[in-house]
Amino acid sequence: MDADLFTSMLFATVVAGTPLIITALGLLVSEKAGVLNLGAEGMMAMGAVAAFAATHHSGAPLLGVLAGMGAGMAMALLFGVLTLTLMANQVAAGLALAIFGVGLAAFVGKPYEAIALQAVPPIRIPFIADLPLVGEALYNQQALVYFSWALFWAVLWFLHRSRAGLVLRAVGESPASAHAIGYPVIRIRYLAVLFGGAMAGIGGAFLSVFYTPMWAEGMVAGRGWIALALVVFATWRPLRVVVGAYLFGGVMITQLFIQGSGLQIDFPSQLLSSLPYWATIVVLVAISRNAGAIRLNSPMSLGKPYRPDA
């Protein structure tokens, strides 16, 4: 493989995997607290349109990211009220949130279609970016790419090295026991859900402000569902989330490079475009065959409602 082609593919893979990493890590924290939120697609869509609108009107990508984060948190708060306060079924509420978020984003984003933002310049890290092959691909990236790496280390430390992370995991394993020793289970779950919504909003903001600086209906294109699948693929481990996100990002980019290379392949372009989703299905089927590993690593109370006075 040509060195320039390798660098280009690595660069594109890292960029494609970034929104998946950010969103999946947020969902992982939420699920570690025992809350299953299937509304990632809707939260990402609302984050994308809010970030685009804020950036378009202010000219400041940072404000756009904050707006996207706020929109994701607002959607997550709605989910939290339904499931944690009103005790609605988490699966049904999450699916409804996904459908509602995608539809609302399409409605809100109508005035912004066919508008393009100015491309946000990448941040080049001196000296390291001069490394052969990987330097330009890894260290001449958008700010949110570096943020995704920092987020990984922060989540890893929080879950496995901090007292707060231990409490969060205790709530996800046995909320009744956590409540019995004085921990506010519902408050902790709310905070975890809001964090997951914030990260999904930032993931959506990355798509509309940094990845393709424009708004188009359906631009999230199933990434929220892939992020949900990534958490299961990773068996709720942050490092595996990152590896899985780049694997899926690589599949996405590979099919784009194949279509753009002019190679004569006897496959419809639609089939190539569906490769990331086929990969998601295959991975989930393969993991589901090892039910013991899933039971061993998944939070015991995942998706189960809890009422402290019960």
Q: What is the pTM of this model?
A: 0.93
Choosing among 2.30.29, 2.70.98, 1.10.3470, 1.10.10, the CATH entry for 3-297 is 1.10.3470
Question: CA gyration radius for the chain?
Answer: 20
pLDDT in single tens digits along all 310 residues of the chain: 577 788 888 999 999 999 999 999 999 999 999 999 999 999 999 999 999 999 999 999 999 999 999 999 999 999 999 999 999 999 999 999 999 999 999 999 999 998 999 999 999 998 898 888 888 889 999 999 999 999 999 999 999 999 999 999 999 999 999 999 999 999 999 999 999 999 999 999 999 999 999 999 999 989 999 999 899 888 899 999 999 899 888 888 887 776 666 555 666 666 767 777 777 777 777 766 766 666 777 899 999 999 887 5
Residue 169: what pLDDT? 96
The pairs formed by 106-112 with CB atoms below 8 angstroms and a separation of 24 or more are 106/45, 106/217, 106/218, 108/46, 108/49, 108/50, 108/53, 109/49, 109/52, 109/53, 109/215, 109/217, 112/49, 112/52, 112/53, 112/56, 112/215
Closest CA to 105 of 45, 34, 170: 45
